[in-house]
């Protein structure tokens, strides 16, 4: 069984400017490459787990998102880092303009994307890590059985949630997460 580092995208990999879907708007978070190189050196496979309700809302389509994800993975590769796969949820349960407006089991806080990665890549979730900037990230990780859950402070961290703060590691910035990669 493999161990994984699961990363939310907006706010962890890139600065969250809101519905980022163009290369020119994509700004990597300081320290993300160093963190991922460290994780890879310790045997973690790296996955992106991201809600992309902008697809349901009609701000961009799946092809646009997938093209940006390919570009992002190529930038990681140039840095010597392999992104095993990008998992994304195009749905929103109530807001949007197309066939992606629907409840689903993949939109965080549901664990669907993590469970799909676990099945496809034989991941030991108990030995894996999830880093996100929203309580829904922590809830999805908890729902999947990931013990090490790191919440990086953002404008979302004080939203109402069911996450027990005593069960997560809360950090001020991403670059503080490296000490938890074992």
Count of C-beta atoms within a 10 Å radius of residue 3: 18
| Paired strand residues for 89 | 51
CB 8 within 8 A of CB 35: no
Active site residues: 8, 10
Nearest to 62 by CA among 71, 72, 76, 52: 52
Q: What is the C-alpha separation between 17 and 14, in angstroms, rounded?
A: 9
> Which tokens hold the place of 119?
């099945």
């Amino acid at each position: 069984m493999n161990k994984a580092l699961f990363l939310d995208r907006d706010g962890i990999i890139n600065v969250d400017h809101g519905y980022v879907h163009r290369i020119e708007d994509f700004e990597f978070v300081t320290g993300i490459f160093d963190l991922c190189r460290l994780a890879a050196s310790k045997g973690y496979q790296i996955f992106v787990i991201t809600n992309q309700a902008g697809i349901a809302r009609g701000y961009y389509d799946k092809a646009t998102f997938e093209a940006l994800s390919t570009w992002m993975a190529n930038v990681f590769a140039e840095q010597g880092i392999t992104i095993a796969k990008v998992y994304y949820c195009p749905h929103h349960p109530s807001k949007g303009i197309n066939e992606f407006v629907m409840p689903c089991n993949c939109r965080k806080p549901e664990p669907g994307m993590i469970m799909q990665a676990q099945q496809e890549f034989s991941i030991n979730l108990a030995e894996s890590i999830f880093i996100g900037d929203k309580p829904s990230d922590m809830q999805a990780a908890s729902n999947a059985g990931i013990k090490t859950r790191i919440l990086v402070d953002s404008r979302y961290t004080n939203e109402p949630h069911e996450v027990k703060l005593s069960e997560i590691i809360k950090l001020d910035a991403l670059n503080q997460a490296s000490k938890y990669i074992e």
